[in-house]
Amino acid sequence: MDFSSASGMFSGINQNSPNHGTQNYITAALDGEALASLLRRTAPQTVAADGLSWLRARFVRPTGFDAMLSRVRPEGSTLLLGGKSGAGKEATARMLLSRTEGEPIRLISVQPEDGGSLIEPDAVLSGDNLLLHLSEADEKTFDACCRRLVGLRAEVAVKRARLVVVLPPWAERRLPPDLRPLCTEVVAPDRIAVLRSHLETHDLDLRADEVPADLRGQIEELGMDGVAELVHHAVATAGGIIERLRTALAVIHEQASAVTRMMSDLDTRARALSAALALLEGGSVDVVAAAERELLEQVEYTEEPAPQLQDVGLTIRASRLQAVVEQRRVRFDNTWRGQAVLAHLWDAYPQMHAVFASWVSAVGLDRTTDDADLERITERFVSQAMRAGYVDDVLSVVVNWADKRKPLREQALALLGRAAVDDRFGYLARRRVYFWSRDPALSPALAEAVVAVCERVLGVDFPNQAIVRLRYLAEHPDAATAALATAALVRLTEDRQMLRRFLADGESTTRPAVFRAVVRPERLVSAGPGGKSLLANSAVRAQVVAGWRAALADEGWADTAMTWMATGSPAVMDVLVTACAGAWGPLADLFAANRRLLRLSPEDERVRRAAIDMERRIQLVRDPLAVGTKEEQRC
């Protein structure tokens, strides 16, 4: 971008922007709390319970919900949900799949970066509740997903899982004929009923017959998110319920126009100060002043400033923007204005989004910015950038902060994590993480952030993608990066389901070093639900055998085999013998490793019995080998 004209852009208002306003500021304000919660998650079940409990308390069943439920209740079923935007399709899908409190729902990702495999049919596990979100897909992606749905549906049926697909509003005209019988339309429930459900969670009662016609009309125009925003404002006001609702609607309508009017009357310096106040509201006058100077430099503002004592000063200038300074901390005169200003800037100046990203990065690097300021910047910037779809802007700041002091590294991780799980544009961030994971020149600092996000974030909501990316990083030429990724894989696969996903990923069992480091015998033989071990599953056993056959070409495999044999598990020893069967050399090495194990623990009765059992198993497969080729016999 030509920054020489940026100052001119910033001095004008783009009144024709279709999105300028404050309609998303409530959602943006919650993103920081959501992110903090996200980075603390450790299991998909917890995520599902946290997300569904809030929805369950407010959900209003759309017309035909019981019929939809009867179609998706049978094991192995697939249901496609169509309908207009704002009809509540995703909420309906979650409630259809959530048959009991705390039952997990897993999102299936659209991932064009992984060799064109848009959906992961081989990743479906027994009894999975799967939600495929295509409501934001473009036509090309949608068509590709429809083609892949054939294989996915078959896998869902075999694994006795359940699948609900959320379709875009225009899907009906592009849906293949064989999928149309699976589709049902979701019609938005009555907005007043939804409003009443939300209000009840705040102990506020509303009778449908007491809502005046004019107020009902305004409420009916709101989408589901708009209803949630309306309730947020109504709860924060006083008076009777109808008075509260009128006040809340007035606030929503006034905010966009109030900010637009204010910004239209400002010069470049005042707009820069307004942006700094909004980004750093709650911060000190020092950091706000520094942020204003930085933005003016970014837009190459050329007017000479007045001598310092001729200027009225930051306190008075801030007051003209409806902001106050208290104990050297700056805030706006109400709770919504800061987010509204930021939303206006990102919407009214779309050509400056890269400038704003560069500005945010520089403010974070400034030494006057403390840890609390960094948290504010991260939350507010990522909310606006992801709302507008500027994923590259977020990732550029991640790169700039990843190798700096610890607070900046932590916020780089928070930015990357938030971008990776964004409902609309998260797939773009996950795609970049994929390419980073395969980049041999990836810096150690950025690799550390990528590993952490794969483990803590993708491992929760996109487990298969987490495994793929960590597997590549575990083979990174930088030893420290490889060790970090391997350790993350080991921790993730402590969960039985994650270990099954790792083994089901065909590439994992063809990479000997990663396989030997991650797959631990004690995890394979420990009893799970129903008292059965993973190795009791024939598919898992075949995957472990395949992994070991690939490992036979890796130097040092016999030492790993000794640790497996030391478990004394017949199932483990059977896997090792099966993997070596058919080739005399590996079988002889396995025999030698077994004898070495016995010599190292001559007094251990358990090891002695295991070694005898192993030698017997090896002897059982020797005769077929004895009639092999002369070359094999000489070996």
CATH at residue 85: 3.40.50.300
Phi, then psi, of 15 in degrees rounded to 5:
-70, -15
Domain presence at residue 333 = no
* pLDDT score of 52: 65
Q: Is 112 helix (H, G, I), strand (E, B) or coil?
A: coil
Task: For residues 430 and 353, give the distance between their C-alpha atoms in angstroms, rounded to a whole number.
Answer: 21
Mean pLDDT across the stretch 365-386? 90
Q: Which domain-ending residue is among 185, 204, 222?
A: 185
Mark whether 546 and 493 lie in a shared domain: no
Q: What does the pLDDT average to over 598-624?
A: 79
Give yes or no: residues 67 and 168 share one domain.
yes
Is residue 491's pLDDT more than 80? yes
> 424-445 pLDDT, tens per residue?
888 899 999 999 999 999 999 9
- Structure-block tokens of residue 572: 């483990």
Q: Is residue 226 part of a domain?
A: yes
Domain boundary (219, 240, 261) is at 261
Count Cα neighbours of 204 within 13 Å in the Cβ-side half-sphere. Answer: 24
511/459 same-domain check: yes
Considering the domain boundaries, does residue 41 fall inside one? Answer: no
Residue in this structure with the two tokens 């404002």, named with its chain if needed: 233
Q: How confident is the model at residue 287 (pLDDT cuts 50, 70, 90)?
A: very high
Strands 78-82 and 323-326: unpaired
- C-alpha distance across the termini of the chain, in Å: 67
Q: Which residues pair with 131 in a beta bridge?
A: 107, 164
The confidence score (pLDDT) of residue 146 equals: 87
> Looking at the domain assignment, is residue 270 inside a domain?
no
Q: Characterise 612 by phi-psi region: left (phi > 0), alpha (psi -120 to 50), beta (else).
A: alpha
Q: Which residue has the tokens 């207009």?
A: 84
Q: What is the pLDDT of residue 633?
A: 38
Residue type, 353: H
Domain presence at residue 157: yes
303 pLDDT more than 80: no
Q: Which pLDDT belongs to residue 301?
A: 80
Confidence check: pLDDT of 627 > 50: no
For residues 591 and 624, the model is more confident at 591
Using alpha carbons only, give the angle 630, 633, 635 rounded to the nearest 5 degrees: 115
> How many C-beta atoms surround the C-beta of residue 339 within 10 A?
25
- Written as one string, the DSSP assignment of 128-168 is -EEEEE-TT--HHHHHHHHHHHHHHHHHHHHTT-EEEEEPP
Predicted confidence (pLDDT) at residue 212 exceeds the cutoff of 60: yes
Same domain, yes or no: 65 and 181 = yes
Torsion, Cα of 390, 393, 395, 399 (10° steps): 180
Looking at the fold, whether 175 and 73 belong to one and the same domain comes out as: yes
Q: What is the pLDDT of residue 46?
A: 29
Say if residue 481 is in the same domain as residue 596: no
Q: What average pLDDT does the segment 202-224 reach?
A: 76
| Cα 246 from Cα 197, distance rounded (Å) | 18
Q: Same domain, yes or no, for 180 and 202?
A: no
Q: How many domains does the chain have?
A: 4
Do 506 and 539 lie in a common domain?
Answer: no
Same domain flag for 92 and 172: yes
Query: Which of 470, 489, 519 is the endpoint of a domain?
Result: 519
pLDDT tens for 494-547 read 988 889 989 987 787 778 889 999 999 999 998 877 788 999 988 899 999 999
Which of 147, 194, 145 has its CA nearest to residue 165? 145
| Residues 426 and 508 occupy one common structural domain | yes
Nearest to 62 by CA among 31, 37, 36, 84: 84
The span from the CA of 340 to the CA of 27, in Å, is 12
424 and 490, same domain (yes or no): yes
Query: Is there a domain that residue 375 lies in?
Result: no
What percent of the chain shows pLDDT beyond 90? 28
Alpha-carbon span 323 to 254, nearest angstrom = 18
The parent domain of residue 144 ranges over: 61-185
Q: What percent of the chain has pLDDT over 70?
A: 83
Q: Say if 578 falls within a structural domain.
A: yes
Pairing of strands 183-185, 162-166: unpaired
Q: Per residue in 90-108, pLDDT tens?
A: 888 888 888 655 567 877 7
Token digits for 3?
């920054």
Which of 6-10, 59-63, 568-572 ranks highest by mean pLDDT? Answer: 568-572
Domain annotation covers residue 28: no
Q: How confident is the model at residue 25 (pLDDT cuts 50, 70, 90)?
A: very low
Q: Is the same domain home to 168 and 79?
A: yes
